[in-house]
A and B are shown apart, each in its own frame.
Chain A
Amino acid sequence: MIRQPRINHGAKRLLTESYNTVKAQIHITLKTGVLDPQGKAIESALGDLGFDGISNVRQGKLIELDLTESDYGKARALIDNLCTQLLANTVIEDFAIELDD
């Protein structure tokens, strides 16, 4: 996963009772300023392969999960909580949440 996460700032639509699962994607990346040896290694490898003009490669994680919470706001708050408690280490990592129906 090399691309920057797309950050979903608002609800695509209000989730209603008829949808009982929500798919969430959580993008976890190292904070700006934190050394990312893997990102740098990828960047250097891409250079070796002859791809020019590539910089600022950052490696992160993509976590996908299904939620039974149907209220968008609650779902978001719940995932926020998951992230700060376990999925991301906020000492070194940022996260961005994306919800799909």
Chain B
Amino acid sequence: MKTAVIVFPGSNCDRDVQIALRNATDSEPLMIWHQETEMPSIDLIVIPGGFSYGDYLRSGAMAAHSPIMREVVSRAQSGTPTLGICNGFQILTETGLLPGALMRNTSLKFACCSVFLRVENSYSAFTHHYDDEEIISMPIAHLDGSFYTDDFTLTKLIDNSLVAFRYCDASGNTSKEANPNGSLHNIAGIFNSSRNVLGMMPHPERSTDPIMGRTDGARLFDALVASF
């Protein structure tokens, strides 16, 4: 399986996801600099977390216009699995590959902690190693993670089962208390309509190693490998 990680100035989780992919696929991911305009045939594109362009203007806004993104959009639209994590999720919404926007956390504070997520749809290349409504745990680390969209789009996301993960408590309640950033509907991650694009605020690449005390993220990468 051939994977690629897109690197922008200010990306800072590129190396972490590179390792997670290397471990999951037993091969070396291609690190693609944002100035590139082409990429070889790729089975999975990952847009990593970080502060592309320092989060200046709006998180993800400038990266969404980097030269490589034209190619990423076209690949994603023709079905290549594409994963955006944290800043990657913000970039994907800015390109329009995913609907909505990620706004400032309602606490107005950066939030780095471990959260529980409820798997809302296990029917995708990314989530088929989880069970529906399974409760998993991953770290978050962001300032702009509050998912927002208009009512019409939100209804569409819910009706078409395009919500991938929702923040919940240890028993699976998607309560307000379990929502770390004020996201609408406790949304932590969403798919595009054909479910080959996933954007999520939590960091699966930071929960792949038993020594960190959690491995739920590894199952997402393993699921992708198993899909090929």
User: Are A35 and B149 in contact (CB-based, < 8 A)?
Assistant: no
Task: List the B residue with the shortest CB-CB distance to A87.
Answer: B57
Please tell me if the beta carbons of A86 and B62 are within 8 angstroms of each other in the complex.
Answer: yes
Contact yes or no, A38 B101, CB < 8 A = no
Q: Contact: B149 with A91, CB < 8 Å? A: yes
B103 with A41: CB separation less than 8 A: no
- Residues of chain A contacted by B149 (CB below 8 angstroms): 91
Q: Are A86 and B57 in contact (CB under 8 A)?
A: yes
Q: Is A53 an interface residue (CB 8 A)?
A: no
Main secondary structure of the interface of B (DSSP, over half): loop
Please report the C-alpha to C-alpha distance between residue A86 and residue B58 in the assembled complex, in whole angstroms.
9
Asked whether B108 lies within 8 Å of A92 as measured between CB atoms, the reply is no
The residues of A that contact B199 with a CB separation of less than 8 Å are: none
Can you pick out 11 interface pairs between chain A and chain B where the beta carbons lie within 8 Å of each other? A35-B103, A35-B146, A37-B106, A85-B65, A87-B57, A89-B94, A91-B99, A91-B101, A91-B149, A91-B150, A92-B101
Interface range on chain B: under 10, 10 to 19, 20 to 34, or 35 or more? Answer: 20 to 34
Whether the pair A37, B61 counts as a contact (CB closer than 8 A) is no
| Docked complex Cα distance between A97 and B149 (Å) | 25
One digit per residue, 1 when the CB lies within 8 angstroms of any chain B CB and 0 when it does not, for chain A 65-101 equals 0000000000000000000011101011000000000
Q: Contacts A35-B106, A35-B148 given: A86-B101 contact, CB under 8 Å?
A: no
Residues A86 and B182 in contact, CB atoms below 8 Å apart: no
Question: What is the 8 Å Cβ interface bit string for chain B, positions 35-71, against chain A (1 contact, 0 not)?
Answer: 0000000000000000000000110011001000000
Q: Does A49 contact B (CB under 8 A)?
A: no
Is chain A's interface secondary structure helix, strand, loop, or mixed overall? helix
Question: Is the beta-carbon distance between A89 and B182 smaller than 8 angstroms?
Answer: no
B103 contacts A86, C-beta separation under 8 Å? no
Nearest B residue to A85, CB-CB: B65
Partner of B101 from the list A41, A87, A89 (CB cut-off 8 Å) is: A89
Cβ contacts B90-117/A at 8 Å (1 or 0 each): 0001100001110111101000000000
A65 to nearest B CB, angstroms?
Answer: 13
Q: Considering the complex, give the chain A residue whose CB is closest to the CB of B60.
A: A89
Query: Could you tell me the distance in whole angstroms from the C-beta of B179 to the nearest C-beta in chain A?
Result: 13
The reply to whether B65 and A92 form a contact with Cβ atoms under 8 Å apart is no
- Pairwise interchain contact B100-A35, C-beta atoms closer than 8 A: no
Q: A89-B101, A91-B100, A92-B103 are in contact. Are A35 and B182 (CB under 8 A)?
A: yes
